[in-house]
Structure 1
Amino acid sequence: MTDFPFDLVGFDLDGTLFDTSADLADAVNHALALLGRPALGVDAVRPMIGRGGKFMLQQGLEASGGCDPAVLERLYPELLDYYGANIARATCAFPGLTAALDALQARGAKAAIVTNKAENLAVKLVAELGLDHRFACVIGGDTMGPDGRKPSPAGIEEMIRRCGGARAAFVGDSIFDIEAARAAGIPSIAVSFGFLSQPVGTLGADAVIDHFDELLPVLDRLGTT
């Protein structure tokens, strides 16, 4: 089929493609345990996800007794090492993802990832889940330099460049995803099942989906508006 309105669909990773919350909470709690602090529940950590690992750890420290900058710098490598070694113990794709990727491929569209997770960790996670062959590129939070994290559009713009200047849309679960897509000048779709820190209807996305089954029909609609 050649009538699909987009050549490329970009996705955020944490909270959009995959439920990574249990493994990320485990990594935060590993760092907190090194200080003798009590563990945080997954529900407490989930809203901290989305702006990169250091921000997540900072939020975890603040929620468990306070964040000293020197302690943050000391514990951050510990968190990264632990997470890298345990990156896919409990992580899983959100329902309907594989079918949605199949449908995009059948319509002639590529899929790609733009995440605030470090590129090496994002690449490792996608590979461990056996889905690395499904994405044309993976842009991490450090790929475009220190100022390249979403809400900067730099990662999305690089995704489009690597994929040949394609007609693109972007799917995410946070205000940073939606603002980055808007700054890049492409349509955005918010997922209501992600790691939301505010009501999904307030993100300002061009559309909202509650399940990946809705992705292709929504993209068809956005392509005609």
Structure 2
Amino acid sequence: MADFPFDVVGFDLDGTLLDTSGDLTAAVNHALESAGRPPLTVEQVRPMIGGGSRHMLAQGMAATGRCSEAELDVLQRRLLDHYEANIAVTTAPFPHALDAMDALATRGVKLGIVTNKNERLARKVLGELGLTERFGAILGGDTLGPGRSKPKPDPILAMVERCGGGRAAFVGDSIYDTTAARAAGVPSVAVSFGFLQQPIEELGADAVIDSYAELVPTLERL
């Protein structure tokens, strides 16, 4: 176990570690309904996830008509209130994710979370799923302050430091993840089952997995 190539493995949250698409779609539709807009399907919302709640809502509003910044301010608050109150209705880890985390922990690897979700909401959903204690660091899009979330490398570098340092890898599903990892000098693994906004080949990841059953062997090859 001592020769495992990584000391720290970080994960994006939405679309990477957790399938949050159902609960996020419900929150988006709650905001849209309050503005008199038609609802969107999970399939429509899934590619909108990853850049934070305002980005997701702005795309949802654009799909159903125009929207001013002032209206976005009001609707984002409605979205977040609904989401926080219903944060883990359908949300669950992707298949084999817990087994992969167990296998990494057995090898002495420290685990971290770097998400563009608000840190308080990230901690809430992880807490409701009983996962918080698995992670040595949990960083949200607001943790380090304005302008320092992914695709900036700052939160990945902070995650590695808070997990004790060493060689790290990062697992994600978006260009935010692979760009941040590359800028941090960290190898990236993309999950093909995530909330992809573009073809997986365009993410520029160092490796791609189709299931969490492939994660540990893939990291060993990296």
Equivalent residue number for residue 57 of structure 1: 57
Structure 1 residues 106-160: Cα deviation after superposition (integer angstroms, max 9, x where no partner): 1110111000000000000001011111111110000011111110001001101
- Residue 166 of structure 1 and its aligned partner are, at CA, apart by 2.0
| Alpha-carbon distance between aligned partners in 2 of 1:55 and 1:67, rounded to the nearest angstrom | 12
- 1:126 alignment partner AA: L
| Alpha-carbon distance between aligned partners in 1 of 2:136 and 2:162, rounded to the nearest angstrom | 8
Equivalent residue number for residue 166 of structure 2: 166
Structure 1 residues 141-196: Cα deviation after superposition (integer angstroms, max 9, x where no partner): 00011111110001001101111222100000001100000000010000000000
Equivalent residue number for residue 202 of structure 1: 202
| Alpha-carbon distance between aligned partners in 1 of 2:9 and 2:161, rounded to the nearest angstrom | 13
Gaps of 5+ in 1: none
Equivalent residue number for residue 34 of structure 2: 34
Q: TM-score, normalised by structure 2?
A: 0.98
SS state at 1:112 partner: strand
| Alpha-carbon distance between aligned partners in 2 of 1:67 and 1:183, rounded to the nearest angstrom | 33
Equivalent residue number for residue 115 of structure 1: 115
- 2:119 alignment partner AA: E
- 1:4 alignment partner AA: F
> 5 Å matches for 1:111-150?
111-150=111-150
**Identity percentage of aligned residues:** 62
Equivalent residue number for residue 151 of structure 2: 151
SS state at 2:84 partner: helix
- Residue 104 of structure 1 and its aligned partner are, at CA, apart by 0.2
> 5 Å matches for 1:174-185?
174-185=174-185
| Alpha-carbon distance between aligned partners in 2 of 1:160 and 1:166, rounded to the nearest angstrom | 7
Contact 2:112–2:136 (CA under 8 A) maintained in structure 1: yes
- 1:190 alignment partner AA: A
| Alpha-carbon distance between aligned partners in 2 of 1:69 and 1:151, rounded to the nearest angstrom | 23
| Alpha-carbon distance between aligned partners in 2 of 1:16 and 1:55, rounded to the nearest angstrom | 18
Matched residue count: 222
Deviating beyond 4 angstroms after TM superposition, the runs of 4 or more aligned structure 1 residues are none
- Residue 202 of structure 1 and its aligned partner are, at CA, apart by 1.5
Equivalent residue number for residue 92 of structure 2: 92
SS state at 1:197 partner: coil
| Alpha-carbon distance between aligned partners in 1 of 2:18 and 2:10, rounded to the nearest angstrom | 14
Superposition RMSD in Å = 0.7
- 1:154 alignment partner AA: D
Gaps of 5+ in 2: none
